[in-house]
Structure 1
């Protein structure tokens, strides 16, 4: 397998991949991803970042084909991808994909849904485009040496997402291989996103921009716009620029391998915060009953995670809800104080509580390849929490959090999360929208009415 063909291989895959002959579970998993992403997008209604973006671009959102999920109105596919992409990531409640060390669905669903409505595609077309784009995004992660790419400061959700979403959008638009290669070449010049902005409104803006740019790149290519048709593998191209080092051969091999949506799966978030806090949240919540209400007597908390496990957890003294989502210290404190970690935990007022600010200062985050207790081996990651209170030390370790692809939420739990998101937003009839989304495989034409349109 040569490295020269990866752009062409992705384009051919986007155009011709036979999802219909694949196991039915592929489309079922794609449907769960769409449902969850729409739910967390609705929950973003009223978020300060969503409102600020609307104040900035709302006047540009004239009539169009594609649903703005937070308003129920319509706009162009490019604007819908931008608005819905930011809304879906605003609360950091969207799903996670380990092979890209990021959030696949928020990078894919807003753009693909917008284009599917624009094109009058079927629900099955949308799900198939997601399956294809998911395979591409995981392949890109394999070619980038993703952890090193991430550690250098790139927000991999956006840097991989813009290219993968373009592949899926090109499929929905019916582009041929040559036009899809051009679309990918255009999109590769738009890859961006700095992790220094984690804990600010700019972090959720990244997938909004990447989704918008994916739709834009696809439209440009459809209208004859040119780009290097071997962009990804060329000496000055995507893998050479972003890889550590780049390995187009690894990307091609992963693209041709097993369906990633089945092999790797998706990790659905149980808590609305950075996924690297979920293991420690599970562990801390299991320790709450052992403290017997003596949280005020806690003298020290030590959280140990695998090397690199603290990379996204850059906010050690948060004072806003956005910052707190990337703070191991706060998530641990909230779990202890409230006995839960919920959407309400990340209101600014909750973060600024005196008791929360005092408790989070007692937390120390460490990284170690040597697990402090329990089995020496761990699968991908771990969180070991030790709480000192009243002269005793209480310990709990979690390697696989609830919602992980290896320990997934049930369909009922996923539906309950969706209902909570809709209730949090006040966005409309949760049951009606849930039924509409579950019926996607039988929906012959998207765009005939706005998704979840309100009376």
Structure 2
């Protein structure tokens, strides 16, 4: 459920929070954990997942093989987080990670379907199961990362990775503080730099989709997530750069209501998509050092004016270098929660969870904000 709208955070090994925090909520509720317990375990999980990602360059170099990093590295992260929450010892934690290494799965072909968010659900489930089984004495391989036929060599496909530095530098510094991006738009993170550019140009030059003769978005040849040029369903629309650009131009906003079958079928939207072109950067261009830092866009108006912009991926609104601000993040929460909770209970939820480290009993906090 946390991943179904593709509105959770992203960065590092895909979608770290949704691969970890729901598992901790479930486990924390069952053992009466505090909010501080959850945060400490969450950070441990993130750091483990990010360390393996950085050591193996998985997300940046290996996703072209078709594995979903949230589900692959997320298994290790979730297991590590749950092991921390259960206060497992070194041997038990090693066993939990060993089990998680055999559970890792999830392919990008399922993006744009209900199975993509199922990846996150299964990741959380497996993290809880691995930690609980380890607590009960279940065994697994003790060298899941470094063994010649372990996780790194077999699943990631890199048997030569040196993990010593990654292990030795856990928390020195903490990677999580620089890795995560808070999503402003409920679609694949690959769209966000492009959307920031479009909305910036629309504000600056005051044009609408009726003024646009044509638009172009540039994609890398290595892109594995923008699977749909002509999406016909809401979930596929989240993984279509063409549809995201058209929706931004037509509606001037991209939000939850953007991604419905009815919205995609609207005539204005279909007409705009016909005016949106995609250019794929060749391997030669990228190999020659001209790889884009973001997702370049080019918009040509009916009067002949041409606007171009490229927002670097590291400067997306919601990133650490370009923060969205707590007021906006809280506003996003209120808007989303308002679809299922009454106003008074939304504010109760804000008070309970805005500073999770102040929650004394996770189970009580969860009960206070359940949909009734």
Query: TM-score of the superposition, structure 2-length normalised?
Result: 0.90
Query: Which residue number in structure 2 is paired with residue 169 of structure 1?
Result: 82
Q: Paired residue for 1:29?
A: none
1:282-313 per-position Cα deviation (integer Å, ceiling 9, x unaligned):
111223357765524533211124564x3311
- Cα pair 2:49 2:77 within 8 Å, conserved: yes
- How many Å separate the matches in 2 of 1:254 and 1:142? 11
**Displacement, 1:258?**
1.1
Deviates more, 1:288-297 or 1:298-307: 288-297
The aligned counterpart of 2:93 is 180
Aligned match for 2:317, one of 396, 402, 410: 402
1:271 to 174, 185, 192: 185
Query: Does 2:273 align with 1:385?
Result: no
* Number of matched pairs: 360
Q: Match for residue 91 of structure 1?
A: 5
User: Would the alpha carbon gap of residues 281 and 226 (structure 1) be closer, same or farther in structure 2, given more than 3 Å must change?
Assistant: same
Helix, strand or coil at the partner of 1:188: helix
Identify the match of residue 333 of structure 1 among 246, 252, 275.
246
CA contact (8 A) 2:47 2:175 kept: yes
1:230 lines up with 2:143 in the alignment: yes
Distance in 2 between residues matched to 1:291 and 1:131, nearest whole Å? 42
- Cα separation, partners in 2 of 1:296 and 1:137, compared to 1, 3 Å: same
Change in CA separation of 1:314 and 1:427 when aligned onto 2, cut-off 3 Å: farther
Q: CA deviation at 1:367?
A: 4.2
Q: 1:223: Cα distance to partner?
A: 1.0
Deviation, structure 1 residue 128:
0.5
After superposition, residues 20-169 of structure 1 pair within 5 angstroms as 87-97=1-11, 99-100=12-13, 102-146=14-58, 147-169=60-82
2:339 is aligned to 424
Is the contact made by 2:98 and 2:141 (CA closer than 8 Å) also made in structure 1? yes
Of the candidates 336, 339, 355, which is equivalent to residue 268 of structure 2? 355
SS in 1 for 2:366: coil
User: Displacement, 1:423?
Assistant: 1.6
Q: Secondary structure at the match of 2:339?
A: helix
Q: CA separation in 1, counterparts of 2:189 and 2:95?
A: 34
Aligned-partner Cα distance in 1 for 2:37–2:148: 35
Judge conservation of contact 2:208–2:250 (CA < 8 Å) in 1: no
> Structure 1 length normalisation: TM-score?
0.74
1:286 is the counterpart of 2:203: no
Match of 1:299 in 2: 213
Residue 256 (structure 1) shift: 5.6
* In 2: Cα distance, 1:294 partner to 1:230 partner: 57
Alignment gaps of 5+ in structure 2: none
